[in-house]
Amino acid sequence: AAQGQSEPPRVGLSKLFPDGNFPEGELQEYKNDNAWRTTSEEMRYNEKMAMEDPEVTYSSIRRAAEVHRQVRKYAQKFIHPGMTMTEIAESIEDGTRALVEENGLESGVGFPTGVSLNHCAAHYTPNAGDTVVLQHGDVLKVDFGVHVKGRILDSAFTMTFDNTYDKLVEAVKAATDTGVREAGIDVRLGEIAAAIQETMESYEVEVGGKVFPVKPIENLSGHSINPYQIHGGKSVLLVKNDDATKMEEGEYFAIETFGSTGRGRVVEQGDCSHYARIINAPNAALRYTTAKSLLRSINKNFGTLPFCRRYLDRIGESKYLLALNHLVQQGVVQDYPPLCDVRGSMTAQFEHTILLRPTRKEVAKRRMAW
Ligand SMILES: COc1ccc(Cn2nnc3c2[C@](C)(O)CC[C@@H]3OC(=O)NC(C)C)cc1
Ligand SMILES: [Co+2]
C-alpha cells in the first residue's frame, strides 16, 4: 500500500498529504505547436485566465487522481473470481469514500462504480438483491470515479483471470494510449477517433481456433467533463468521423476506448441501475408528492452527479421505483441502462482523464514516475 495507507485503504488523504500538494500527473508535450511558448510568469498568468480557476481544478483533480490511484491498486489486488459484483462495487466505493474524505457535494464518489461483464461494456452496477458472482473466464471492466469540488476523475481498466482475451485487452490499452497521445489543444475530435480506430483494428484475438478482429465500439465514446457534469457535451468517438470540433485549452476529457469481438455496437440491455438528473431540466410541475420528495433527495445528495439505486438505498430512500420512473418520464432524470454488444462477445475498456493545460497536457491518473 502507498506509504502510510492501510489495507484495505481507509486513511483519508489529508493525513497522507498534510500540505495538500498532490503529485502532478504525467506531463506530455503537445504534438502540434499550438501550445504557447511562454515564460513561466506569462504561463502562470495564462493559466489563470484560461480556466475558471486553474488552481481549484488542478488541485482538485490531482487529489481525486491520488485517491483513484490508491483505490485502483487495492482493487487490482483483491478482486477475484468467486466475489459477488456487489462486494466488488462496495469495496471500491468504501475505499473511495474513506480516502477522498467524502463530504456532501464537496467531495465523494464521482459516479456509480461500473463493473460491466463480458459482452456488456458500460453502465452496469448491481442493484440491491443482485446475486451475480465473478467467474474465472469473465472480462470485467472496472470504471469508477472520484470527485473533489465537482472535478470528476473518470478512469477505468479491464481485469481478466486467464489469458484467452489478452490480445483484446492489449488492443484497447494501446488504442487508449493512442487517444491520449493524439489529444491536444485545437486537435479535431474526428482525427483522434481515426487514430484510435486504426490502433484498435490492427489487433485480432484467437479464441478456440477462431480468429476475431478487434472492433472499436462505434456508439461509445470518451467525453469532455465539466464540474459536476460527467458528460460535458463533447464526445471522442472510436471510429473515424468528420467532427471538426476541437479540443480547447482548459478543458479536461475522459479518454476511453472500448474494443469488442462482437458487432462493435452496443444496445441497451438489462435492468437499469445508473441515473443522473438532467442539467437544465425543466422543473416540471410534478403531480406525485413521492416524485417531488425523491427529486429533493436527489438534488440534495447528488445534484447533477450520476447515481445508482444502491446510492438511494444507502441514503435511506425506499419504495422509490415508481417515483424514479416518473422523474425519467418527465425528462427530469436521465436513465442509463447497461450497454451491451451481442451475447457471447467480449468487450474491454481502458480510460484516463487528461487536463489540457495551456502549455502541456497532464495525464491526471498516471504518476510521473511511471
Ligand atoms: C449515469 O452514469 C454515467 C456514468 C458515466 C458516464 C460517462 N459516459 N458518458 N458517455 C459514456 C460514458 C461512459 C460511462 O464512460 C461509457 C461510454 C458512454 O459513451 C456514450 O454513451 N457515448 C455516446 C454519447 C456516443 C455517463 C453516465
Ligand atoms: Co468512465
Residue-by-residue DSSP string for 320-363: -HHHHHHHHHTTSEEEE--EE--TT--EEEEEEEEEE-SS-EEE
Give 282-294 pLDDT, tens digit per residue: 766 788 899 999 9
The CA distance from 370 to 351, in Å, is 16
Q: Give the number of whichever ligand sits closest to the CA of residue 156.
A: 2
pLDDT at residue 257 tops 90: yes
Residue nearest to atom 16 of ligand 1 (CA): 122
Identify the band that residue 368 occupies on the pLDDT scale cut at 50, 70 and 90: very low
Q: Ligand 1 centroid vs 89 CA: distance in angstroms?
A: 18
Angle 40-50/54-78 helices, nearest 10 degrees? 80
Average pLDDT rounded to a whole number, residues 204-225: 97
- The predicted pLDDT at position 367 comes to 55
Average pLDDT rounded to a whole number, residues 32-52: 57
The CA distance from 98 to 50, in Å, is 33
Residue-by-residue DSSP string for 255-274: EEEEEESS-S--EE-S---E
- The predicted pLDDT at position 123 comes to 98
Mutational pocket test of ligand 1: of 125, 230, 236, the residue with most ligand atoms within 8 Å of the beta carbon: 230
pLDDT mean across residues, the chain: 92
Residues with CB under 6 A from ligand 1: 111-112, 122-123, 219-221, 223, 230-231, 235, 256, 274, 276, 306, 336
The CA distance from 348 to 215, in Å, is 10
Q: Ligand 2 centroid vs 117 CA: distance in angstroms?
A: 15
Cell numbers placing 3: 506509504
pLDDT at residue 309 tops 80: yes
pLDDT at residue 230 tops 90: yes
Mutational pocket test of ligand 1: of 231, 305, 310, 334, the residue with most ligand atoms within 8 Å of the beta carbon: 231
Give 145-183 pLDDT, tens digit per residue: 999 999 999 999 999 999 999 999 999 999 999 999 999
Average pLDDT rounded to a whole number, residues 287-308: 94
The CA distance from 311 to 70, in Å, is 22
The CA distance from 167 to 163, in Å, is 8
Residue nearest to atom 6 of ligand 1 (CA): 230
pLDDT at residue 300 tops 90: yes
- The predicted pLDDT at position 46 comes to 59
Q: Give the number of whichever ligand sits closest to the CA of residue 155.
A: 2
| Nearest atom within ligand 1 for CA of residue 254 | 15
- The predicted pLDDT at position 83 comes to 98
Report the range of poorest mean pLDDT among 26-35, 107-116, 199-208, 352-361.
26-35
**What's the pTM?**
0.92
Residue nearest to atom 21 of ligand 1 (CA): 220
Residue type, 357: R
Give 263-282 pLDDT, tens digit per residue: 999 999 999 999 999 988 87
Residue nearest to atom 8 of ligand 1 (CA): 231
Enzyme catalytic residues: 143, 154, 223, 231, 256, 351
- The predicted pLDDT at position 359 comes to 82
- The predicted pLDDT at position 347 comes to 98
| Selection from 148, 125, 120 nearest residue 313 by Cα | 125
- The predicted pLDDT at position 369 comes to 29
- The predicted pLDDT at position 65 comes to 96
Q: Angle at Cα 269 formed by Cα 199 and Cα 333, nearest 5°?
A: 100
- The predicted pLDDT at position 54 comes to 79
**How far, rounded to the nearest angstrom, does the alpha carbon of residue 362 sit from its chain's CA centroid?**
17
- Write the CB contacts of 218 (distance below 8 Å, at least 6 apart in sequence): 237, 238, 239, 264, 265
Q: Ligand 1 centroid vs 188 CA: distance in angstroms?
A: 20
- Are 188 and 226 in contact, with CB atoms under 8 Å apart? no
- The predicted pLDDT at position 106 comes to 96
Q: Ligand 1 centroid vs 231 CA: distance in angstroms?
A: 7
The CA distance from 153 to 48, in Å, is 21
Give 333-350 pLDDT, tens digit per residue: 999 999 999 999 999 999
Q: Ligand 1 centroid vs 228 CA: distance in angstroms?
A: 14
- The predicted pLDDT at position 49 comes to 55
Identify the band that residue 37 occupies on the pLDDT scale cut at 50, 70 and 90: very low
